[in-house]
Amino acid sequence: MNEVIIGGKAIGPGHPCYVIAEAGSNHNRDWNIALKLIDAAVAAGADAVKWQTYSAESMYSKKAPNFEHLKENTWDLIKRIEMPREWHADLARECGDRGVHFLSTPFDLEAVEQLDKVGVPAFKIASFEITHLPLLKACAQTGKPIILSTGMANLADIELALETIEAAGGREVVLLHCAIGYPPKFADINLRAMDTMRQAFAVPVGYSDHTMGLVADVAAVARGACVIEKHYTLSRAMEGPDHPFALEPDELRAMIEAVRQTEEALGSSVKRHTASEEEFHRGARRSLVAACAIAKGTKIEERMLAVKRPGWGIHPRHIPLVVGREARVDIEADDILTWEMV
């Protein structure tokens, strides 16, 4: 499985999980809010802050039906929350100054060109756009890595998308498993699908999460997710469609901390005692101890032996070898037996 490099960071098995803080449209078209969102992501320890670049005109037909979970006309809503595209360069600079990557999901071909011009290190494609083959082709032709969300997609959808990307020159792809729902039911998340995608396409796989907590993210990392993407906001009480299911800053920080702790806890596949366990390994395991005083020259019987802590004496598995031997020295009751004593 090939690793993918985004902004100098390697993504793939054996590397730290790449955490994308999804600001999306939660800037509410307010530049000061956008800056605070960047600061919150940096404080939480995210690797990247991601926005969304779209326009109502290029995304929806005015005749498209409204979504049930939205409380207003879809076209009007999208128009109201569009990110000003003149922000791109300034957002990229602000992110760079704070040490995080600037990403934004393009939803039209003009957005691809604009984001490429300001130097995004990768293109993140939304689940809804996996069938927008001209968009995939345009992103691939830039030569930059692509992070492709796969919510609602089956393997045939993913295969067609990857074929389109490869044919256009794309060589570095990360697939993100995703359950579409705001938030989704845990029963619909199906994290085992990451295993299927990894086996089927031999690319790094991650998880784009819309749940309210951190359980799914921790489980995904434990299952090998190389990327985690999570929506966040300054406050769920703010007005806008994506605020209610997003994490607040303290929650984002807790989620990323849980991801890092999970990575640390996974460790290696080697089963052994660790350096921090050494004192307990020697002091709290058991070994053979004299159950009574044993005079020098006495033939040792099993009744004269006890199995007690600590563990630096003769291992209990050697009881058959000790029984029948003579004591070389006088042994006091509760002495820890060593081979030099018998």
Contact between 247 and 255 under an 8 Å Cβ cutoff? The reply is yes
Name the burial class of residue 265, with classes exposed (0-12), middle (13-18) and buried (19+) by CB atoms within 10 angstroms of its CB.
Answer: exposed
Nearest Cα residue to 240 out of 77, 104, 84, 86 = 77
Query: What is the topology classification, in CATH, of domain 275-341?
Result: Type Iii Antifreeze Protein Isoform Hplc 12 (3.90.1210)
**94: helix, coil or strand?**
helix
φ, ψ at 5 (rounded to 5°):
-105, 120
Map out the domains of the chain as residue ranges.
4-266, 275-341
Tokens 């702790």 appear where? Answer: 261
CA distance 23 to 148: 17
The sign of the dihedral angle between the CA atoms of 332, 334, 335, 338 is positive
Tokens 């990451």 appear where? Answer: 194
Contact between 291 and 303 under an 8 Å Cβ cutoff? The reply is yes
**51-62 confidence digits (pLDDT tens):** 999 998 998 888
Tokens 């784009």 appear where? Answer: 208
pLDDT of residue 69: 66
pLDDT of residue 73: 78
pLDDT of residue 66: 78
Helix, strand, coil percentages, rounded to 5, for the chain: 40, 20, 40
How far from chain centre, in Å, is Cα 88? Answer: 27
CA distance 339 to 342: 6
Q: DSSP label at 307? A: E
Contact between 151 and 207 under an 8 Å Cβ cutoff? The reply is no
28: which 2 tokens?
């509410």
pLDDT of residue 70: 67
CA distance 15 to 28: 34
Residues in CB range of 126: below 8 A, 6 or more apart: 52, 105, 107, 149
pLDDT of residue 52: 98
Residues in CB range of 129: below 8 A, 6 or more apart: 105, 107, 135, 136
pLDDT of residue 1: 64
**162: helix, coil or strand?**
helix
pLDDT of residue 103: 98
> Considering the domain 4-266 in this protein, what is its CATH number?
3.20.20.70
Low-confidence ranges of the chain (pLDDT < 70): 1, 68-70
Nearest Cα residue to 225 out of 176, 266, 270 = 176
